[in-house]
Protein backbone atom coordinates (compact mmCIF):
# COMPACT_ATOMS: atom_id res chain seq x y z
CA UNK A 1 0.00 0.00 0.00
CA UNK A 2 1.28 3.46 -0.86
CA UNK A 3 0.44 6.34 1.45
CA UNK A 4 0.43 10.05 0.89
CA UNK A 5 2.31 12.13 3.47
CA UNK A 6 -1.03 13.35 4.87
CA UNK A 7 -2.54 9.92 5.48
CA UNK A 8 -2.25 7.64 8.46
CA UNK A 9 -1.59 10.46 10.93
CA UNK A 10 -4.04 10.76 13.85
CA UNK A 11 -5.19 14.22 14.86
CA UNK A 12 -3.18 14.25 18.08
CA UNK A 13 0.03 13.78 16.08
CA UNK A 14 -0.71 16.52 13.57
CA UNK A 15 -0.91 19.30 16.15
CA UNK A 16 2.67 20.42 15.70
CA UNK A 17 3.57 24.08 15.88
CA UNK A 18 5.66 24.60 12.77
CA UNK A 19 7.93 27.59 12.49
CA UNK A 20 7.17 30.13 9.78
CA UNK A 21 8.24 29.41 6.22
CA UNK A 22 10.70 32.32 6.18
CA UNK A 23 12.51 31.11 9.31
CA UNK A 24 12.64 27.55 8.02
CA UNK A 25 14.08 28.83 4.75
CA UNK A 26 16.78 30.80 6.58
CA UNK A 27 17.68 27.75 8.68
CA UNK A 28 17.99 25.55 5.57
CA UNK A 29 20.03 28.20 3.76
CA UNK A 30 22.37 28.59 6.73
CA UNK A 31 22.84 24.84 7.04
CA UNK A 32 23.65 24.43 3.34
CA UNK A 33 26.13 27.29 3.28
CA UNK A 34 27.80 25.96 6.43
CA UNK A 35 28.26 22.55 4.78
CA UNK A 36 29.82 24.22 1.73
CA UNK A 37 32.19 26.19 3.99
CA UNK A 38 33.22 23.13 6.01
CA UNK A 39 34.09 21.15 2.88
CA UNK A 40 35.86 24.20 1.48
CA UNK A 41 37.88 24.43 4.68
CA UNK A 42 39.01 20.81 4.24
CA UNK A 43 39.22 21.15 0.44
CA UNK A 44 37.33 17.88 0.12
CA UNK A 45 34.56 15.81 1.65
CA UNK A 46 31.00 15.00 0.64
CA UNK A 47 28.87 18.18 0.66
CA UNK A 48 26.12 17.26 -1.82
CA UNK A 49 23.91 14.87 0.11
CA UNK A 50 24.23 16.78 3.38
CA UNK A 51 22.96 19.92 1.62
CA UNK A 52 20.17 18.00 -0.08
CA UNK A 53 18.97 16.39 3.14
CA UNK A 54 18.82 19.56 5.23
CA UNK A 55 15.01 19.65 5.44
CA UNK A 56 14.93 16.00 6.52
CA UNK A 57 17.32 16.83 9.34
CA UNK A 58 15.17 19.72 10.56
CA UNK A 59 12.05 17.53 10.45
CA UNK A 60 13.73 14.79 12.48
CA UNK A 61 15.70 16.82 14.99
CA UNK A 62 13.21 19.62 15.59
CA UNK A 63 9.82 17.94 15.31
CA UNK A 64 9.87 14.15 15.43
CA UNK A 65 12.76 12.35 17.14
CA UNK A 66 12.67 11.67 20.87
CA UNK A 67 16.19 12.13 22.22
CA UNK A 68 18.28 14.10 24.65
CA UNK A 69 21.47 15.77 23.35
CA UNK A 70 23.48 14.34 26.25
CA UNK A 71 23.34 10.63 25.41
CA UNK A 72 23.76 8.46 22.31
CA UNK A 73 21.67 9.00 19.20
CA UNK A 74 28.65 8.49 4.80
CA UNK A 75 26.90 11.81 5.08
CA UNK A 76 28.83 12.63 8.19
CA UNK A 77 28.55 16.42 7.98
CA UNK A 78 24.76 16.01 8.09
CA UNK A 79 25.16 14.25 11.44
CA UNK A 80 27.91 16.43 12.88
CA UNK A 81 26.22 19.71 12.02
CA UNK A 82 22.87 18.73 13.50
CA UNK A 83 24.60 17.35 16.61
CA UNK A 84 26.15 20.80 16.99
CA UNK A 85 22.92 22.72 16.37
CA UNK A 86 20.86 20.70 18.87
CA UNK A 87 23.49 21.11 21.56
CA UNK A 88 25.68 18.03 22.02
CA UNK A 89 28.28 19.56 24.32
CA UNK A 90 31.36 17.99 22.70
CA UNK A 91 30.31 18.96 19.17
CA UNK A 92 31.49 22.55 19.41
CA UNK A 93 31.88 24.89 16.46
CA UNK A 94 35.64 24.41 16.63
CA UNK A 95 35.11 20.67 16.43
CA UNK A 96 32.93 21.12 13.35
CA UNK A 97 35.77 22.99 11.69
CA UNK A 98 38.09 20.06 12.44
CA UNK A 99 36.09 17.91 9.99
CA UNK A 100 38.41 15.54 8.12
CA UNK A 101 41.47 17.29 9.57
CA UNK A 102 44.68 15.76 10.90
CA UNK A 103 43.98 17.12 14.39
CA UNK A 104 44.42 14.40 17.00
CA UNK A 105 41.59 15.82 19.13
CA UNK A 106 39.08 15.82 16.27
CA UNK A 107 35.84 13.89 16.75
CA UNK A 108 34.72 14.62 13.18
CA UNK A 109 36.37 11.98 10.98
CA UNK A 110 35.28 11.37 7.41
CA UNK A 111 33.22 8.40 8.55
CA UNK A 112 31.25 8.76 11.83
CA UNK A 113 32.41 6.47 14.64
CA UNK A 114 30.52 5.12 17.62
CA UNK A 115 32.83 6.72 20.20
CA UNK A 116 30.98 10.07 19.98
CA UNK A 117 27.88 10.36 22.18
CA UNK A 118 25.63 11.24 19.26
CA UNK A 119 26.75 8.43 16.94
CA UNK A 120 24.96 5.15 17.63
CA UNK A 121 26.80 2.83 15.24
CA UNK A 122 29.95 2.80 13.13
CA UNK A 123 28.33 1.82 9.86
CA UNK A 124 31.37 1.77 7.59
CA UNK A 125 30.70 0.39 4.08
CA UNK A 126 27.48 1.15 2.23
CA UNK A 127 24.52 -1.01 3.19
CA UNK A 128 25.77 -1.79 6.70
CA UNK A 129 23.65 1.01 8.19
CA UNK A 130 20.41 -0.52 6.92
CA UNK A 131 21.32 -3.85 8.51
CA UNK A 132 22.36 -2.12 11.74
CA UNK A 133 19.02 -0.32 11.84
CA UNK A 134 17.16 -3.62 11.45
CA UNK A 135 19.16 -4.92 14.41
CA UNK A 136 18.29 -1.88 16.53
CA UNK A 137 14.59 -2.24 15.71
CA UNK A 138 14.77 -5.97 16.35
CA UNK A 139 16.31 -5.32 19.79
CA UNK A 140 13.42 -3.00 20.67
CA UNK A 141 10.85 -5.61 19.64
CA UNK A 142 12.59 -8.36 21.61
CA UNK A 143 13.08 -6.34 24.79
CA UNK A 144 9.55 -4.94 24.59
CA UNK A 145 8.03 -8.40 24.20
CA UNK A 146 10.12 -9.67 27.12
CA UNK A 147 9.69 -6.84 29.63
CA UNK A 148 6.82 -4.53 28.66
CA UNK A 149 3.63 -4.99 30.67
CA UNK A 150 0.24 -3.31 30.57
CA UNK A 151 0.69 0.43 31.23
CA UNK A 152 4.48 -0.05 31.28
CA UNK A 153 5.91 0.38 27.75
CA UNK A 154 9.48 0.67 28.99
CA UNK A 155 11.05 -0.26 25.63
CA UNK A 156 9.08 1.05 22.65
CA UNK A 157 11.32 3.39 20.65
CA UNK A 158 11.40 3.99 16.89
CA UNK A 159 14.51 3.45 14.80
CA UNK A 160 15.11 6.05 12.06
CA UNK A 161 17.59 5.14 9.31
CA UNK A 162 18.89 7.49 6.61
CA UNK A 163 20.02 5.91 3.35
CA UNK A 164 20.95 6.95 -0.18
CA UNK A 165 20.78 5.53 -3.68
CA UNK A 166 24.03 3.60 -3.37
CA UNK A 167 23.02 1.95 -0.09
CA UNK A 168 20.08 0.29 -1.82
CA UNK A 169 22.37 -1.32 -4.40
CA UNK A 170 24.33 -3.31 -1.81
CA UNK A 171 23.34 -6.95 -1.37
CA UNK A 172 23.36 -6.76 2.43
CA UNK A 173 20.74 -4.00 2.24
CA UNK A 174 18.26 -6.22 0.42
CA UNK A 175 18.98 -9.12 2.78
CA UNK A 176 18.19 -6.87 5.76
CA UNK A 177 15.18 -5.24 4.07
CA UNK A 178 13.74 -8.67 3.36
CA UNK A 179 14.08 -9.76 7.00
CA UNK A 180 12.61 -6.52 8.36
CA UNK A 181 9.55 -6.97 6.16
CA UNK A 182 9.24 -10.64 7.11
CA UNK A 183 9.43 -9.79 10.82
CA UNK A 184 7.05 -6.83 10.35
CA UNK A 185 9.26 -4.46 12.30
CA UNK A 186 6.80 -1.58 12.43
CA UNK A 187 9.14 0.38 14.70
CA UNK A 188 11.59 0.88 11.82
CA UNK A 189 11.50 3.72 9.29
CA UNK A 190 14.03 3.92 6.46
CA UNK A 191 14.31 7.43 5.01
CA UNK A 192 15.52 7.35 1.41
CA UNK A 193 17.45 10.44 0.26
CA UNK A 194 16.39 9.97 -3.34
CA UNK A 195 18.58 12.28 -5.40
CA UNK A 196 19.16 9.73 -8.21
CA UNK A 197 22.93 10.27 -8.12
CA UNK A 198 25.88 8.08 -7.16
CA UNK A 199 29.62 8.60 -7.54
CA UNK A 200 29.85 7.61 -11.21
CA UNK A 201 26.83 9.57 -12.41
CA UNK A 202 23.06 9.23 -12.50
CA UNK A 203 21.59 6.09 -10.94
CA UNK A 204 20.19 4.87 -14.26
CA UNK A 205 23.75 4.09 -15.38
CA UNK A 206 23.37 0.81 -13.51
CA UNK A 207 19.90 0.62 -11.98
CA UNK A 208 16.39 1.35 -13.24
CA UNK A 209 14.24 -0.80 -10.96
CA UNK A 210 11.03 0.43 -9.30
CA UNK A 211 12.32 0.89 -5.76
CA UNK A 212 8.89 1.49 -4.22
CA UNK A 213 7.51 -1.68 -5.82
CA UNK A 214 10.49 -3.65 -4.51
CA UNK A 215 9.90 -2.39 -0.97
CA UNK A 216 6.19 -3.19 -1.16
CA UNK A 217 7.05 -6.69 -2.39
CA UNK A 218 9.35 -7.09 0.63
CA UNK A 219 6.46 -6.26 2.98
CA UNK A 220 7.00 -2.55 3.65
CA UNK A 221 4.68 0.44 3.70
CA UNK A 222 5.82 3.13 1.28
CA UNK A 223 5.34 6.89 1.65
CA UNK A 224 6.36 9.41 -1.03
CA UNK A 225 7.47 12.98 -0.35
CA UNK A 226 7.98 14.85 -3.62
CA UNK A 227 9.67 18.02 -2.31
CA UNK A 228 12.30 16.91 0.16
CA UNK A 229 14.35 20.05 -0.35
CA UNK A 230 11.99 22.49 1.36
CA UNK A 231 8.68 20.92 2.46
CA UNK A 232 9.49 20.26 6.12
CA UNK A 233 5.82 19.87 7.03
CA UNK A 234 5.29 17.10 4.45
CA UNK A 235 8.37 15.30 5.76
CA UNK A 236 7.14 15.58 9.35
CA UNK A 237 3.75 14.16 8.37
CA UNK A 238 5.46 11.25 6.62
CA UNK A 239 7.65 10.55 9.64
CA UNK A 240 4.66 10.65 11.98
CA UNK A 241 2.69 8.36 9.69
CA UNK A 242 5.60 5.93 9.93
CA UNK A 243 5.59 6.12 13.72
CA UNK A 244 1.82 5.61 13.82
CA UNK A 245 1.94 2.57 11.52
CA UNK A 246 1.43 -0.64 13.49
CA UNK A 247 1.71 -3.20 10.76
CA UNK A 248 4.95 -3.07 8.77
CA UNK A 249 8.26 -1.22 8.54
CA UNK A 250 8.00 2.02 6.56
CA UNK A 251 10.05 3.21 3.60
CA UNK A 252 9.88 6.99 3.12
CA UNK A 253 10.96 7.93 -0.40
CA UNK A 254 11.98 11.61 -0.27
CA UNK A 255 13.00 13.36 -3.50
CA UNK A 256 15.95 15.69 -2.93
CA UNK A 257 18.52 17.57 -5.02
CA UNK A 258 22.15 16.75 -4.37
CA UNK A 259 24.29 19.88 -3.92
CA UNK A 260 21.22 22.13 -4.07
CA UNK A 261 22.16 25.76 -4.73
CA UNK A 262 25.54 24.94 -6.26
CA UNK A 263 26.53 25.08 -9.92
CA UNK A 264 26.64 21.26 -9.95
CA UNK A 265 23.24 20.76 -8.28
CA UNK A 266 21.69 17.45 -9.31
CA UNK A 267 24.98 16.20 -10.75
CA UNK A 268 27.47 13.60 -9.52
CA UNK A 269 30.09 16.38 -9.34
CA UNK A 270 28.34 17.50 -6.15
CA UNK A 271 28.84 14.12 -4.52
CA UNK A 272 32.39 13.82 -3.26
CA UNK A 273 34.37 17.02 -3.71
CA UNK A 274 34.47 20.55 -2.34
CA UNK A 275 32.81 23.16 -4.57
CA UNK A 276 35.70 25.62 -4.75
CA UNK A 277 35.78 29.23 -3.57
CA UNK A 278 33.91 30.64 -6.58
CA UNK A 279 30.99 28.23 -6.29
CA UNK A 280 30.82 28.56 -2.49
CA UNK A 281 30.39 32.30 -3.01
CA UNK A 282 27.73 31.55 -5.62
CA UNK A 283 25.91 29.25 -3.17
CA UNK A 284 25.85 31.99 -0.55
CA UNK A 285 24.48 34.51 -3.03
CA UNK A 286 21.82 32.01 -4.12
CA UNK A 287 20.71 31.55 -0.52
CA UNK A 288 20.91 35.22 0.45
CA UNK A 289 23.97 34.89 2.68
CA UNK A 290 27.00 37.19 2.86
CA UNK A 291 29.52 35.68 0.44
CA UNK A 292 32.44 37.40 2.21
CA UNK A 293 31.78 35.65 5.54
CA UNK A 294 32.47 32.04 6.45
CA UNK A 295 30.85 29.62 8.94
CA UNK A 296 27.82 31.83 9.50
CA UNK A 297 25.24 30.59 12.04
CA UNK A 298 22.94 33.21 13.52
CA UNK A 299 21.35 33.16 16.98
CA UNK A 300 18.03 32.73 15.17
CA UNK A 301 19.16 29.35 13.83
CA UNK A 302 20.43 28.17 17.20
CA UNK A 303 17.15 29.31 18.76
CA UNK A 304 15.17 26.93 16.53
CA UNK A 305 16.82 23.98 18.26
CA UNK A 306 17.19 25.49 21.73
CA UNK A 307 14.33 23.45 23.17
CA UNK A 308 16.04 20.16 22.24
CA UNK A 309 17.80 19.80 25.59
CA UNK A 310 14.89 20.62 27.94
CA UNK A 311 12.50 18.56 25.80
CA UNK A 312 14.90 15.62 25.82
CA UNK A 313 15.49 15.88 29.56
CA UNK A 314 11.74 15.81 30.17
CA UNK A 315 11.37 12.69 28.01
CA UNK A 316 14.20 11.06 29.97
CA UNK A 317 12.65 12.10 33.31
CA UNK A 318 9.27 10.68 32.31
CA UNK A 319 10.89 7.38 31.33
CA UNK A 320 12.81 7.16 34.60
CA UNK A 321 9.59 7.75 36.54
CA UNK A 322 7.86 5.01 34.52
CA UNK A 323 10.77 2.67 35.26
CA UNK A 324 10.53 3.45 38.98
CA UNK A 325 6.84 2.52 38.99
CA UNK A 326 7.64 -0.60 36.97
CA UNK A 327 10.15 -1.65 39.65
CA UNK A 328 7.38 -1.63 42.24
CA UNK A 329 4.81 -3.37 40.06
CA UNK A 330 7.14 -5.99 38.55
CA UNK A 331 10.21 -6.28 40.82
CA UNK A 332 11.56 -9.57 39.43
CA UNK A 333 11.35 -8.43 35.81
CA UNK A 334 12.78 -5.05 36.78
CA UNK A 335 15.83 -6.66 38.39
CA UNK A 336 16.45 -8.82 35.33
CA UNK A 337 15.92 -5.87 32.98
CA UNK A 338 18.39 -3.69 34.87
CA UNK A 339 20.99 -6.46 34.81
CA UNK A 340 20.66 -6.58 31.04
CA UNK A 341 20.78 -2.79 30.70
CA UNK A 342 24.01 -2.86 32.71
CA UNK A 343 25.36 -5.62 30.47
CA UNK A 344 25.65 -8.07 33.37
CA UNK A 345 24.73 -11.74 33.51
CA UNK A 346 22.39 -13.37 36.03
CA UNK A 347 24.01 -14.56 39.26
CA UNK A 348 23.80 -18.25 38.37
CA UNK A 349 25.37 -18.03 34.91
CA UNK A 350 28.64 -19.64 36.09
CA UNK A 351 27.06 -22.74 37.64
CA UNK A 352 28.77 -25.85 36.22
CA UNK A 353 27.05 -27.64 33.36
CA UNK A 354 27.58 -31.41 32.98
CA UNK A 355 29.27 -32.31 29.72
CA UNK A 356 26.59 -34.92 29.03
CA UNK A 357 24.01 -32.10 28.94
CA UNK A 358 25.99 -29.87 26.64
CA UNK A 359 26.76 -32.76 24.29
CA UNK A 360 29.89 -31.00 23.22
CA UNK A 361 28.04 -27.76 22.48
CA UNK A 362 29.27 -24.77 24.40
CA UNK A 363 26.51 -22.26 23.72
CA UNK A 364 23.31 -24.24 24.21
CA UNK A 365 23.27 -24.47 28.03
CA UNK A 366 24.36 -20.84 28.23
CA UNK A 367 21.70 -19.66 25.78
CA UNK A 368 19.05 -21.65 27.62
CA UNK A 369 19.73 -19.84 30.90
CA UNK A 370 21.14 -16.45 29.95
CA UNK A 371 18.43 -14.15 28.63
CA UNK A 372 20.98 -11.86 26.98
CA UNK A 373 21.93 -14.48 24.41
CA UNK A 374 20.16 -14.43 21.05
CA UNK A 375 21.31 -17.36 18.94
CA UNK A 376 20.75 -18.01 15.27
CA UNK A 377 21.99 -19.61 12.09
CA UNK A 378 21.84 -18.99 8.36
CA UNK A 379 19.50 -21.87 7.49
CA UNK A 380 21.67 -24.58 9.09
CA UNK A 381 19.82 -25.46 12.30
CA UNK A 382 20.04 -29.27 11.84
CA UNK A 383 23.76 -29.06 11.02
CA UNK A 384 25.13 -26.66 13.64
CA UNK A 385 23.09 -27.95 16.61
CA UNK A 386 22.64 -24.55 18.26
CA UNK A 387 19.04 -25.10 19.38
CA UNK A 388 18.15 -25.77 23.01
CA UNK A 389 15.18 -27.45 24.62
CA UNK A 390 12.26 -25.06 25.03
CA UNK A 391 13.73 -22.37 22.78
CA UNK A 392 11.31 -19.80 21.33
CA UNK A 393 11.90 -18.43 17.84
CA UNK A 394 12.09 -14.70 17.17
CA UNK A 395 9.17 -14.15 14.78
CA UNK A 396 6.18 -11.91 14.28
CA UNK A 397 3.50 -13.45 16.53
CA UNK A 398 0.99 -13.41 13.67
CA UNK A 399 3.13 -15.53 11.35
CA UNK A 400 1.96 -19.13 10.97
CA UNK A 401 4.47 -21.08 8.89
CA UNK A 402 3.72 -24.08 6.72
CA UNK A 403 6.27 -26.16 8.65
CA UNK A 404 4.67 -25.28 11.98
CA UNK A 405 7.74 -23.57 13.48
CA UNK A 406 6.32 -20.36 14.95
CA UNK A 407 7.31 -17.88 17.63
CA UNK A 408 7.02 -14.29 18.86
CA UNK A 409 9.18 -11.24 19.51
CA UNK A 410 10.29 -12.55 22.93
CA UNK A 411 12.05 -15.43 21.17
CA UNK A 412 15.83 -15.72 21.27
CA UNK A 413 16.43 -18.19 18.45
CA UNK A 414 16.75 -16.52 15.05
CA UNK A 415 16.18 -18.10 11.65
CA UNK A 416 18.26 -15.76 9.47
CA UNK A 417 17.58 -17.65 6.25
CA UNK A 418 20.41 -17.90 3.74
CA UNK A 419 21.63 -14.39 4.56
CA UNK A 420 25.08 -14.63 6.15
CA UNK A 421 26.00 -11.00 5.50
CA UNK A 422 22.81 -9.62 7.03
CA UNK A 423 23.15 -12.06 9.94
CA UNK A 424 26.48 -10.51 10.96
CA UNK A 425 25.52 -6.91 10.19
CA UNK A 426 22.11 -6.99 11.89
CA UNK A 427 23.85 -8.54 14.91
CA UNK A 428 25.94 -5.35 15.13
CA UNK A 429 22.71 -3.39 15.52
CA UNK A 430 21.47 -5.78 18.22
CA UNK A 431 24.64 -5.16 20.22
CA UNK A 432 24.70 -1.40 19.59
CA UNK A 433 21.19 -0.98 21.06
CA UNK A 434 22.82 -1.04 24.51
CA UNK A 435 26.15 -2.60 25.44
CA UNK A 436 25.71 -6.09 26.89
CA UNK A 437 21.90 -6.08 26.83
CA UNK A 438 21.86 -8.49 23.89
CA UNK A 439 24.75 -10.81 23.00
CA UNK A 440 24.18 -12.26 19.51
CA UNK A 441 25.61 -15.68 18.67
CA UNK A 442 25.65 -16.53 14.97
CA UNK A 443 26.55 -19.85 13.38
CA UNK A 444 27.20 -21.23 9.92
CA UNK A 445 29.76 -23.24 8.02
CA UNK A 446 33.09 -21.46 8.14
CA UNK A 447 33.21 -21.01 4.37
CA UNK A 448 29.97 -19.00 4.40
CA UNK A 449 31.43 -16.46 6.82
CA UNK A 450 33.42 -15.14 3.88
CA UNK A 451 30.09 -13.67 2.72
CA UNK A 452 29.68 -12.13 6.19
CA UNK A 453 33.21 -10.71 6.50
CA UNK A 454 32.36 -6.98 6.13
CA UNK A 455 29.72 -7.23 8.87
CA UNK A 456 32.09 -9.10 11.20
CA UNK A 457 34.79 -6.50 10.54
CA UNK A 458 32.42 -3.63 11.39
CA UNK A 459 31.54 -5.38 14.65
CA UNK A 460 35.18 -5.92 15.58
CA UNK A 461 36.43 -2.37 14.89
CA UNK A 462 34.19 -0.65 17.51
CA UNK A 463 34.42 -3.65 19.89
CA UNK A 464 30.81 -4.85 19.69
CA UNK A 465 30.39 -7.92 21.91
CA UNK A 466 29.14 -10.95 19.98
CA UNK A 467 30.13 -14.45 18.89
CA UNK A 468 30.39 -15.96 15.41
CA UNK A 469 30.82 -19.74 15.39
CA UNK A 470 32.08 -21.38 12.20
CA UNK A 471 31.89 -25.11 11.56
CA UNK A 472 34.06 -27.28 9.27
CA UNK A 473 37.44 -26.31 7.82
CA UNK A 474 37.52 -23.73 5.05
CA UNK A 475 38.22 -26.34 2.35
CA UNK A 476 35.30 -28.60 3.27
Q: Which residues are catalytically annotated?
A: 420
Task: Return the exposure string of 168-190: e unless at least 16 CB atoms fall within 10 Å of the residue's CB, then b.
Answer: bbbebbbbbbbbbbebbbbbbbb
Amino acid sequence: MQLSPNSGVPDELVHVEFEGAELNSRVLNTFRCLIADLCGNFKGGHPGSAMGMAAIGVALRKYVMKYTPEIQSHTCLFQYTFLHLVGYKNMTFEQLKSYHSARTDSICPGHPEIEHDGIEVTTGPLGQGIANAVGLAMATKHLGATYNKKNYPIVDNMTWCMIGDACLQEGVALEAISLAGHWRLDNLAVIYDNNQVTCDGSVDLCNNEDTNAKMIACGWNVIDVHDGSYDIEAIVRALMAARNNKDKPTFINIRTVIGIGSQSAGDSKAHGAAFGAEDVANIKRTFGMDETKHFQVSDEVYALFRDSKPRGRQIETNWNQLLKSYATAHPVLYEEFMLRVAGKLTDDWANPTPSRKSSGLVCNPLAENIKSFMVGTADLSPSVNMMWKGKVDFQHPGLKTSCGINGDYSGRYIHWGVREHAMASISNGLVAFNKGTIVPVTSSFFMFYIYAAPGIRMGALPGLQQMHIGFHPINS
